[in-house]
């Protein structure tokens, strides 16, 4: 008889805590780098800041990937999976991807012409406020890149492990409507593991499932599924908004 496994298991909860812990340390270290940006010398100092943050993303990304591999191994042992398997660590995102993301985060720092219709309200704020906004964007960008590397390690392992049959999204009770909706869909099979759709600040875990296991939605994920089917599914194009409203009113 197949052993049941659920998205609210202890392993998934530990992995989410590990991801949040790495995210907190990453944000702490990103904030320390703000001193590198000198407002009077943006052209010269922003590139140095981008390089420093990029190095942090690489360092924490490696830690995220290693933690995810340890999580995969421990879950595999707990599931009593036969056969040996070594989790391959996921490569970090390309430097160009990280740099482009950080350039996007800092795009509002540069002086703008207030008479230019393309100039936004944010771009006319005092430099310290623009720096605050850029820092928050950079923290979110870095967090997503790092956490995605850990989740990607699990997904990649599922694709290569002959004993794995898929993975499920394990979302916390306080997750956003998008994450709850995706988590309520249950286990995704191997052929669909190419992309784990996430967002800035997302701490959902990818939970591997192996042969001999039967994935079951947790009680709260079943309730999310019920709310979606009853209040959102019949309205294509407006499903996420209606699901978000259903959670607020009935969740």
pLDDT digits (tens, 9 = 90+) for 43-83: 999 999 999 999 999 999 999 999 999 999 999 999 999 99
Q: In which element (H, E) is residue 72 found?
A: helix 42-78
Q: State how far Cα 122 lies from the chain centre.
A: 26
Distance CA 185, CA 225 (A): 7
Question: Smallest Cα–Cα separation from 215: which of 191, 243, 183?
Answer: 183
| Contact between residue 131 and residue 37 where contact means Cβ atoms under 8 Å apart | yes
The continuous run of DSSP H or E covering 239 comes out as helix 239-250
> pTM of the full predicted structure?
0.90
pLDDT tens column, 6-49:
999 899 999 999 999 999 999 999 999 999 999 999 999 999 99
**Mean pLDDT across 196-206:** 88
Q: What pLDDT is attached to residue 198?
A: 87
For tokens 């940006």, the residue is 37
| pLDDT of amino acid 188 | 77
Express each pLDDT in 127-162 by its tens digit.
Answer: 999 999 999 999 999 999 999 999 999 999 999 999
Residue pLDDT, tens place only, 207-228 = 999 999 999 999 999 999 999 9
Q: Which of 204, 219, 201, 216 is nearest to 172 (CA)?
A: 204
Comparing 202 with 251, the larger pLDDT belongs to 202
First to last CA, the chain: 34
Q: What is the pLDDT of residue 75?
A: 96
pLDDT at residue number 192? 60
In this structure, what token pair is assigned to residue 159?
A: 């694709």
Q: Which residue(s) pair with 215 in the sheet? A: 5
- Strand 213-216 and strand 3-6: pairing? parallel
Residue 1's pLDDT is what?
A: 67
pLDDT of residue 223: 96
Burial class (CB in 10 A: 0-12, 13-18, 19+), 124: middle
The residue extents of the domains of the chain are: 3-217
The per-residue pLDDT for 199 is 87
Do residues 5 and 102 make contact, with C-beta atoms less than 8 angstroms apart?
Answer: no
């Amino acid at each position: 008889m197949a052993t049941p496994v659920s998205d609210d298991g202890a392993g998934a909860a530990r992995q989410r805590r590990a991801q949040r812990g790495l995210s907190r340390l990453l944000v702490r270290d990103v904030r320390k780098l703000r001193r590198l940006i000198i407002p009077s010398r943006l052209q010269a100092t922003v590139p140095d800041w981008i390089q420093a943050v990029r190095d942090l993303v690489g360092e924490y990304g490696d830690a995220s990937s290693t933690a995810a591999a340890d999580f995969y191994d421990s879950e595999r042992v707990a599931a009593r999976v036969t056969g040996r398997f070594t989790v391959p660590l996921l490569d970090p995102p390309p430097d160009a991807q990280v740099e482009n993301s950080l350039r996007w985060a800092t795009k509002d720092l540069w002086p703008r012409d207030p008479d230019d219709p393309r100039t936004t309200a944010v771009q006319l704020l005092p430099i310290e406020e623009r720096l605050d906004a850029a820092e928050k964007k950079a923290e979110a960008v870095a967090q997503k890149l790092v956490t995605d590397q850990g989740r990607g390690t699990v997904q990649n392992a599922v694709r290569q492990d002959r004993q794995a049959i898929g993975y499920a999204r394990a979302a916390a009770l306080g997750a956003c409507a998008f994450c709850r909706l995706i988590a309520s869909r249950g286990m995704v099979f191997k052929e669909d593991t190419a992309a784990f759709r996430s967002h800035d600040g997302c701490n959902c875990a990818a939970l591997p499932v192996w042969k001999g296991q039967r994935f079951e939605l947790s009680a709260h994920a079943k309730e999310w599924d019920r709310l979606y089917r009853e209040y959102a599914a019949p309205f294509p194009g407006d499903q996420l908004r209606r699901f978000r409203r259903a959670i607020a009113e009935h969740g």
